[in-house]
Structure 1
Amino acid sequence: MSTNTSLYSRLSRRETHAPRSVLAITLAVLLILVAAWIGTEIVLSLLALPALLVAPADMFSSALGVLEQPAQYVGIAGVVVAIIGLVLLIAGIAPGRRARHTLSSTRTATVADNAVIASALARHAAHAGNVSPDNVTVSVSHRRADVHLTPASGLPVDAAAITAAVNQQLEQYELTPRVTAKVRVAENGKVGA
Structure 2
Amino acid sequence: MSEPSTYRRTQSTYRRILRRETHSPRSVLAITVAVVLILALLYLGTEIVLAMIGTRALLAAPLDMLDALAHLDDAPDGLVVGVGVGLLLIGALLIIGAATPGRRGRHQMSTERGLAVVDDEVIASALARHAAHAGDVDPDNTTVSVSRRVAGVHLVPTSGTRIRRDAVISTVAEQLEAFDLTPSLEPRIVVAERGRVGA
TM range (shorter): 0.7 to 0.9
Q: Where does structure 1 lack aligned partners over 5 or more consecutive residues?
A: none
Amino acid at match of 1:10: R
Q: TM-score scaled to structure 2, two decimals?
A: 0.84
Q: Where does structure 2 lack aligned partners over 5 or more consecutive residues?
A: 1-6
Amino acid at match of 1:183: I
Superposition CA RMSD, Å: 2.2
Deviation of 1:121 (Å): 0.2
What is the CA deviation profile of residues 42-90 of structure 1, one whole-angstrom value per residue up to 9, with x for unaligned ones? 4554x45335433332221111011111111111111221222222222
Change (3 A) 1:56 1:106: farther
Pair 1:70-2:76 in alignment: yes
1:144 match:
150
Larger deviation: 22-31 or 32-41?
32-41
Amino acid at match of 1:98: R
Match of 1:180 among 186, 189, 195: 186
Larger deviation: 168-177 or 84-93?
84-93
2:3 match:
none
Amino acid at match of 2:28: V
2:167 match:
161
Deviation of 1:111 (Å): 1.5
1:27-66, aligned counterparts within 5 Å?
A: 27-45=33-51, 47-50=52-55, 52-53=57-58, 54-66=60-72
CA–CA distance in structure 2, aligned partners of residues 187 and 114 of structure 1: 27
Deviation of 1:125 (Å): 0.8
Amino acid at match of 2:95: L
Amino acid at match of 1:56: P
Q: TM-score scaled to structure 1, two decimals?
A: 0.86
1:97 match:
103
2:128 match:
122
- For the residue of structure 1 that corresponds to 2:103, the secondary structure is coil
1:16 match:
22
Count residues in correspondence: 192
Larger deviation: 14-23 or 103-112?
103-112
Give the conservation status (yes or no) of the 8 Å contact 1:9–1:109.
no
